[in-house]
Amino acid sequence: MASDTLERTINKILDQTQERISSELDGALAESGKTLDGARAGLEAEYDKIISDGRKEADKIQKQIVGSSDLEARNRQLLLVEEAVDRAFGEALGRISDMDRDDSYAELVESLMREATDTLGSTEVVVYTSEKDRDVVGSVLNGFSGSQLADDTIECLGGVRIVSTDGTMTFDNTLDARISRLKPLIRKQIAAKFGVVN
């Protein structure tokens, strides 16, 4: 009798304990499920962030590589074009320098003289030119009263440099000065021949 009671009590306690443990296990399972769910969301957010940061970084690096290589290629092209432009210029200057000092050249010098004296507003000027052009310039000065050819010569491809008699005003109408003034425009034309600009 007593042993039955004891057995029932033990069973009851075992049942209760089993129930409690089961309920605790269920609770723990639910809790861990919840924690896992929470962690999953956090993990997914973290994963997305890592992927997004990685993409951004990759994009940045790609831009950097593409940008710098594009620029390098473009800069090389610029240097090559400049080299070609310089060669074309050198060739052209050589030809100008070797030009025959014939009648048409005398006409050119005369027009350069006229432009220069018009700019200074006087024909009473001292005219400087190259050793090579002294004769041609001397021959056209008759048309410019008061003008005189300087004893000294200057280094230039051709043309004239005039100075007012008081020495305060100068106008450089040598071919060198004219080419230098027009060089940016000429460069564009030469570069266009290479197909670099329109």
- What would you measure as the largest C-alpha separation in the chain, in angstroms? 158
Q: Smallest distance from the beta carbon of 23 to other proteins, in angstroms?
A: 30
- Give the residues lining the site for other proteins (CB under 8 A): 56, 60, 63-68, 70-71, 74-75, 78-79, 81-82, 115, 118-121, 167-173, 177, 181, 184, 187-188, 191, 196-198
Give the integer Cα–Cα distance in Å for 27 and 21: 10
Nearest residue (CB) to other proteins, 8 versus 194? 194
Nearest residue (CB) to other proteins, 7 versus 194? 194
Q: Smallest distance from the beta carbon of 21 to other proteins, in angstroms?
A: 35
Nearest residue (CB) to other proteins, 17 versus 69? 69
Nearest residue (CB) to other proteins, 29 versus 79? 79
- Under a CB-based contact definition with an 8 Å cutoff, are residues 156 and 134 in contact? no
Q: Which residues contact 194 (CB under 8 A, 6 or more apart)?
A: 81, 84
Give the integer Cα–Cα distance in Å for 76 and 85: 14
Q: How many C-beta neighbours within 10 Å does residue 162 have?
A: 26
Q: Smallest distance from the beta carbon of 115 to other proteins, in angstroms?
A: 7
